[in-house]
A and B are shown apart, each in its own frame.
Chain A
Amino acid sequence: DVVMTQSPLSLPVTLGQPASISCRSSQGLVHSDGNTYLSWFQQRPGQSPRRLIYRVSNRDSGVPDRFSGSGSGTDFTLKISRVEAEDVGVYYCMQGTHWPRTFGQGTKLEIK
Chain B
Amino acid sequence: EVQVLESGGGLVQPGGSLRLSCAASGFTFSTYMMTWVRLPPGKGLEWVSTITGSGGGTYYADSVKGRFAISRDNSKNTLYLQMNSLRAEDTALYYCARGTMNPDYWGQGTLVTVSS
A-side residues, CB < 8 A to B, are 31, 35, 37, 39, 41, 43, 48-51, 54-55, 60, 90, 92, 94, 96-97, 99-106
Given contacts A48-B95, A48-B109, A49-B95, whether A100 and B104 have CB atoms under 8 Å apart is: no
Chain B residues at the A interface, C-beta cutoff of 8 Å: 35, 37, 44-47, 50, 59-62, 95, 97, 100-104, 106-109
Classify the secondary structure of A's interface with B. loop
> With contacts A37-B101, A48-B108, A48-B109 known, is A94 near B62, CB below 8 A?
no
CB closest chain-B residue, reference A37: B101
Contact A55 B45 (CB under 8 A): no
Q: How far is the CA of A102 from the CA of B98 in the complex (A)?
A: 16
Give the residues in chain B near A97, CB-CB below 8 Å.
101
Nearest-neighbor residue (CB-CB) of A105 within chain B: B44
Q: How far is the CB of A39 from chain B (nearest CB, A)?
A: 4
Q: Is the CB of B59 within 8 A of A100?
A: yes
Looking at B35, B44, B95, B109, which has the most chain A CB atoms within 10 Å of its CB? B44
The answer to whether A104 and B44 touch across the interface, beta carbons within 8 angstroms, is yes
B103 contacts which chain A residues (CB < 8 A)? Answer: 39, 51, 96
A selection of 12 A-B contacts at a CB cut-off of 8 Å is: A39-B102, A39-B103, A41-B45, A49-B95, A49-B97, A50-B106, A51-B102, A60-B104, A96-B102, A99-B59, A100-B47, A103-B45
With A48-B95, A49-B95 already in contact, the answer to whether A106 and B102 are too (CB < 8 A) is: no
Max chain B C-beta neighbours (<10 A), residue from A31, A51, A105: A51
